[in-house]
A and B are shown apart, each in its own frame.
Chain A
Amino acid sequence: MWPIFHKLGSPPWLYAIAGSILRWLLPITLLALVTGAVWGLLFTQPERIQGNSYRIIYIHVPAAVVALAGYYVMALAGAVSLIWRMKMADVAMKAAAPVGAAFTFIALFTGAIWGKPTWGTWWVWDARITSMLILFFLYLGVVALYEAFDNKEAASKACAVLSLVGMVNIPIIYKSVDWWYALHQGATIKFTGESSIDSSMMYPLLLMIGAFYALFTCCLLLNMRVEILQRESRTQWVKKLATKAGRP
């Protein structure tokens, strides 16, 4: 347990291990994404009410699920960095914020595209969309706070505190937005049943959710590798790496 913990704190080791994980995870991710997308988009039945437009759930739902999970990944990395002062947890947290924000944006964007044919409008202040929007703001807050600091170490710690505060608040925000929506729900927008998803639609969706988790991990690791190189740019091992890669 402890040797691993120490190794995780070592930038060259983490850089190398992230590289070797990516070597097999990246192809698997691409394969799963393509399989899931083709299966979901071409080989499932059109939905009874919405027809073909529902197929966007194969992008929308996985992105939304992973966007939320990403915040917890970021906050937990922040907690590790605050409690054990592990610099590489800083790196993970810093790397997770833009990736999570991107996934949240995908969820919001596909939601808007889906909303147009379904509800006849690009944007509806629905409980889940609103929660997603707030999550997007929370992510951007972390990114903005990080960029505002000159001292990047302090930036990481401040972002760790902020993401932990956000983590405590996310359930509260979700519940309160649900409540708010229940209070104000008008009769104009009716939701299509959410529990009645056919299993033939369900399996590709599950595959896509898995693929999106893998995609998130890939993006996170790639981003972490970049961040490690930037932070360690003055050290010997990075210089050696650069000369080895640049000129044979």
Chain B
Amino acid sequence: MTAPAAGQFCLRLLRRQLLLAVRRPVEIGNPLLFFAMVVALFPLGLGPAPGTLAGFASGVLWITALLSNLLTSDAVFRSDFEDGSLEQLLLAPQPLFLSVLAYIGAHWLTTGLLLALVSPVFALMLNLSTAALGALVASLLIGTALLSLIGGIGASLTVGLKRGGMLISLLILPLYMPVLIFGSAAVQAAVSGLPAGPYLAILGAMLCLAIALAPLAMAAGLRISIDA
């Protein structure tokens, strides 16, 4: 029996990760619930005036999405590390940098994609102009994929550490900043009636770069973490 080709193996990993996620649906729901709760904190902290909220809405939604993504990225490789699956993945003949893309893909499908799809509801609660909803969803779709890739790097470097949770935020939050800047700028542009396209294009360009480079860093990070 020959080992499956890299693409086929990636699909198998993707199916496995999605199956694991579906088996524990609460973990898919948790980031969404977190998103909802943090959004609810802002009117309490900033005051309920619709004008104030609308002004902050693009930033608030983006920061909240970023935080909920951050909190889930620690778990991308953790359970596989704990039960020994990660060792097996590292020894697989298929290239590791493609395999980790499957993990990140599954992570994005179960967090970022869903966040982007439900974000209009919360945008309306924060009184964001309806003209900007399209830009919000589009920027979150691209942006959360980027966040998942960057978060994966942090996860790969900290997966071997007992207390990785806090550390991973310190490592990857600085790297999240460009994504936040262009993501919220896209929404802000749409609010002011300007085209959001250029910002989305930059996010897309960053996503391409991250798809090319982040898996290499993740693969290196996992090999180091397993060895530690």
A residues near B, CB below 8 A?
Answer: 82, 134, 137-138, 140-141, 144-145, 148-151, 154-155, 157-158, 161-162, 164-166, 168-169, 172-173, 176-177, 179-180, 183
Contacts and interface: CB of A to CB of B under 8 A. Distances in A.
Interface in B146-201: 153, 157-158, 160-161, 163-164, 167, 170-171, 173-175, 177-178, 181-182, 185, 188
Nearest to B227: A154
Contacts of A148: 158, 161, 163-164, 167
Interface residues of B, number: 29
Contact of B185 (A150, A151, A183): A183
A28 B181 CA distance: 43
A162 B157 contact: yes
Contacts of B105: none
Interface stretch (B79-87, B115-123, B216-224): B216-224
Given A149-B161, A165-B217, A177-B181, A154 B228 contact: yes
5 contacts: A141-B171, A162-B171, A168-B209, A169-B175, A177-B177
A116 B185 CA distance: 30
Given A148-B161, A149-B228, A134 B174 contact: yes
Given A165-B175, A168-B213, A180 B185 contact: yes
B225 A141 contact: no
B206 interface: yes
A173 B173 CA distance: 12
Nearest to B214: A165
A144 B174 CA distance: 14
A144 B220 CA distance: 19
Nearest to A165: B217
Contact of A176 (B157, B182, B209, B221): B182
B224 A161 contact: yes
Interface of B: 153, 157-158, 160-161, 163-164, 167, 170-171, 173-175, 177-178, 181-182, 185, 188, 206, 209, 213, 217, 220-221, 224-225, 227-228
Given A149-B228, A154-B228, A144 B170 contact: yes
Nearest to A175: B178
Contacts of A82: 220
Contacts of B228: 149-151, 154-155, 158
A167 B173 CA distance: 15
Given A141-B174, A162-B171, A165-B217, 15 more contacts: A137-B170, A141-B171, A144-B167, A158-B224, A158-B225, A161-B153, A162-B153, A165-B175, A169-B175, A173-B175, A176-B178, A176-B181, A177-B177, A177-B181, A179-B181
A141 B169 CA distance: 9
Contact of A169 (B157, B178, B182, B224): B178
Contacts of B178: 169, 172-173, 176-177
A154 B181 contact: no
B157 A161 contact: yes
Nearest to B221: A161
Contacts of B227: 151, 154, 157
A86 to B, nearest CB: 16
A77 to B, nearest CB: 16
